[in-house]
Structure 1
């Protein structure tokens, strides 16, 4: 098991204890230090992670790492964040989290943009210009959330 996998395994329960889901752990060199990026999200369904939740889970992760042999060696910078407003959507859970939001989906037939109305096990329903369009999940090549201004 490499360092990232070990951290992912160790931090999953800490993040879950804060009522969140551990999306990803990254370790990257940053000069003389290491950047430890921990990406958290809600487990499922629509909604968002608020700043109080981020602050609380950041404290929990920091405290855990202070006492853990799995913490990165040497100096490191801890960054705890969410996937962001334009996150890639690659798992069913990601699509369920994006329900009600604007998305951009690429299929073999091109790119479509619309509001993600519903997510079924095998298909998505987008509202595009007031009309619904179904897209099979198996046809999705790439998808991401789109920023609404």
Structure 2
């Protein structure tokens, strides 16, 4: 059997992560000589704890060992398994990424926004446009139209007006805005 493809490993891993309510954000394999490295990044609505990551790692290790014994995967002369979280540099590409980062600053194409509420049905997100003085602006955009968004680390306390907007429901914010335009 050949070295496992990422898609095969993802299918093998999915029941373990699904059972815990985690999403697989990335699976990476590196064949390094006789040994192999498998890195699995998982996330959830609640960030996984170190204990949970250890439990997933132990389950996946058993799963991989069993699959190797059955001959369904071949890691060569063994493997190193790393189970981690994706970190803040994960690009926001899925609705769940936006929902999980509500209230945080994101950088999109050189501009900075605060993530507001999402509309699950239409897969739109409210982007709050920070302003130095006055009220923040609001943009309602389809998530599919936003590319390259990443979370920005914020050291200062966010303005209360931005936090209040981010905490409102999608309907409350969207009805007061014009889609795709700043409401100033």
Per the TM superposition, whether the score is higher than 0.5 is yes
Partners of 2:37 and 2:19 lie apart in 1 by 23
* 1:38 corresponds to: 40
Task: Extract unaligned runs of 5+ from structure 2.
Answer: 156-184
Q: Which runs of 4+ in 1 moved over 6 A?
A: none
SS at match of 2:40: strand
Query: Structure 2 vs 1, CA of residues 41 and 65 (structure 1 numbering), >3 Å: closer, same or farther?
Result: same
Maintained 8 Å contact 2:34/2:76: no
TM-score, normalised relative to structure 2: 0.67
**2:108 alignment partner, SS class:** strand
Gaps of 5+ in 1: none
The residue that corresponds to 1:7 in the other structure is 9
Which of 79, 85, 94 pairs up with 2:97? 94
The answer to whether the Cα contact below 8 Å between 1:7 and 1:71 also exists between their aligned partners in 2 is no
3-state SS of paired residue (1:142): coil
Tell me the C-alpha RMSD between the 2 structures.
2.1
2:164 paired residue number? none
Query: C-alpha separation between the residues in 2 aligned to 1:127 and 1:27?
Result: 39
How far did 1:141 drift? Answer: 2.8
Structure with bigger strand share is 1
Equivalent position of 2:59 in the other structure: 60
C-alpha displacement of 1:90: 1.3
Structure with max Cα Rg: 2
Find out whether 1:144 has 2:150 as its counterpart. Answer: yes
**CA spacing shift, 1:144–1:60, aligned 2, 3 Å:** same
Give the whole-Å Cα distance in 2 for the aligned partners of 1:132 and 1:50. Answer: 36
The CA deviation at 1:71 is 5.4
Question: Shift of residue 31 of structure 1?
Answer: 4.6
- Cα pair 1:15 1:61 within 8 Å, conserved: no
In the TM superposition, what are the counterparts of 1:69-88 in structure 2 within 5 Å?
69-70=72-73, 72-88=75-91
